[in-house]
Chain A
Amino acid sequence: MFSLNPLSLLFVFLILLGVIPNLFYMAGYLSHIKRKTYFLIHYFTFIFSMTGVVLSNEILPFLFFWELMSLSSWQLILTEPTDEAIKAGRFYFFMTHFGFVFILMFFLMLGGDSLFTDFNSLSHLAGNFKYPTLLFLLITIGFLSKAGVVPLHVWLPYAHPAAPSPVSALMSGVMLKVAIYAFLRFLFIIPNWEIEWGVIILALGALSSLVGVLYALASHDIKALLANHSIENIGIILIGIGVGMIFTYLKLPELAAFAFIAALYHTFNHMSFKSLLFMSAGSVLYSTHTKDIEKYGGLIKTMPITAFMFLIAAVSISALPPTNGFLSEWMIFQSMLSSSGIDNLVLKLSFPFAIFALALTGGLAVACFVKAFGITFLGLARSENAKHAKEVNTLMLIGQILMALVVISLMLFMPFFIKIFNYSMPIANIYNKLFKNIWVMHSLNPNGAVTPLLILTGLIISVAAIYAFYKYLNPKTRTYHTWACGYNTSAKSQYSATGFAGPIRRFFEWLYRPEVHTHTQTLAGHKTKFSSSLYEVHIKPLFEKSLYDNVVKGLNYLSYFVYRLSHFERARYSSLIFMLLIFTLFSFRVFYKEETIRNILLEVIVMAIFYKFIFGEEK
Chain B
Amino acid sequence: MINYILTVLIIFLIAPFLLGLIKSIKMYLLFKKPASPFQPYIDLMKLIHKEVVYAKESSIISKVAVFMILAPIVVVVFLMPPVFHGSFYISFIDAFTITGLLSLSTFFLMLLGLDSASAFGGIGSSREAFISALVEPAMILTVFSISLIGKSIGISEAVLNLNNHFDINHAASFILAAISFFIILIAENGRIPIDNPETHLELTMVHEAMILESSGADLALIEIASALKFAIFVTLFVSLFLPFGANLCWCLAVLVFIAKLVLVSIAVAFIEVNTAKLRLFKVPNLLGIAIIFGFLSLFIYYVVGE
Mark contacts of A298-337 with chain B using CB atoms, 8 A cut-off: 1 yes-contact digit, 0 otherwise: 1011001000000000010011110000100110011001
Classify chain A's interface size: 35 or more
With A340-B306, A448-B92, A455-B75 already in contact, the answer to whether A363 and B107 are too (CB < 8 A) is no
Residues of A within 8 A of B51 (CB): 475-478
Interface: A349 (CB within 8 A): yes
Most interface-central of A379, A465, A507 (chain B CB within 10 A): A379
Q: Is the CB of A463 within 8 A of B71?
A: yes
Q: Is the CB of B302 within 8 A of A466?
A: no
Indicate if the CB atoms of A482 and B118 lie closer than 8 Å. Answer: yes
Q: Which of A467-523 contact B (CB under 8 A)?
A: 467, 470, 473, 475-484, 489, 491, 493-495, 499-504, 506-507
Which residues of A have CB within 8 Å of B122?
494-495, 499-500
Binding site of A, secondary structure by majority: helix, strand, loop or mixed?
A: helix
- Judged by a CB distance under 8 angstroms, whether A345 is at the interface is yes
Do A359 and B137 form a contact, CB below 8 Å, given A378-B111, A503-B130? yes
> Is A367 at the interface (CB under 8 A from chain B)?
yes
Within the assembled complex, what's the spacing in Å between the Cα atoms of A364 and B131?
10
Is A495 a contact partner of B119 (Cβ separation < 8 A)? yes
Knowing A340-B148, A480-B55, the reply to whether A495 touches B125 (Cβ < 8 A) is yes
Given contacts A475-B50, A499-B122, A507-B130, contact A482 B114 (CB under 8 A): no
Complex CA–CA separation, A583 to B130 (angstroms): 62
Residue pair A483, B212 in contact (C-beta under 8 Å): yes
A450-466: contact bitstring with B at CB < 8 Å (1 yes, 0 no)? 11000100110011011
Contact (Cβ within 8 A) B281 A370: no
B85 within 8 A of A: no
- Please tell me which stretch of A29-37, A79-87, A228-236, A438-446 contacts chain B, meaning at least 4 of its Cβ atoms lie within 8 angstroms of it: A438-446
* A447-B100 in contact (CB<8A): no
Chain A 343-364 per-residue mask, 1 if CB under 8 angstroms from chain B, else 0: 0010011001001100110111
Q: Interface with A: B18-26, B152-160, B241-249, B252-260, which one?
A: B152-160
Once A450-B97, A499-B126 are accepted as A-B contacts, the answer to whether A337 and B54 lie under 8 Å apart by CB is: no
Is B111's CB under 8 angstroms from A373's CB? yes
Q: Establish whether residues B306 and A337, one from each chain, have CB atoms under 8 Å apart when the complex forms.
A: no
B221 CB–A CB distance under 8 Å: yes
Q: Are A363 and B57 in contact (CB under 8 A)?
A: no
Cβ-closest chain B residue relative to A487: B119
CB-defined contacts of B115 to chain A, threshold 8 Å: 374, 378-379
- 21 A/B residue pairs, CB under 8 Å, sorted by A: A319-B100, A320-B104, A330-B96, A345-B303, A362-B136, A379-B117, A446-B154, A446-B157, A447-B152, A448-B154, A449-B92, A450-B92, A455-B75, A458-B75, A459-B75, A475-B50, A475-B52, A480-B54, A482-B118, A484-B118, A503-B130
A-side interface residues toward B, CB under 8 Å? 297-298, 300-301, 304, 315, 318-321, 326, 329-330, 333-334, 337, 340, 345, 348-349, 352, 355-356, 359-360, 362-364, 366-367, 369-371, 373-375, 377-380, 440, 442-443, 445-451, 455, 458-459, 462-463, 465-467, 470, 473, 475-484, 489, 491, 493-495, 499-504, 506-507
CB-CB nearest 6 A-B residue pairs: A495-B122, A363-B136, A449-B92, A363-B133, A374-B114, A447-B154
5 other A-B residue contacts (CB within 8 Å) besides A362-B136, A445-B153, A462-B75? A315-B107, A363-B132, A363-B134, A447-B92, A499-B122
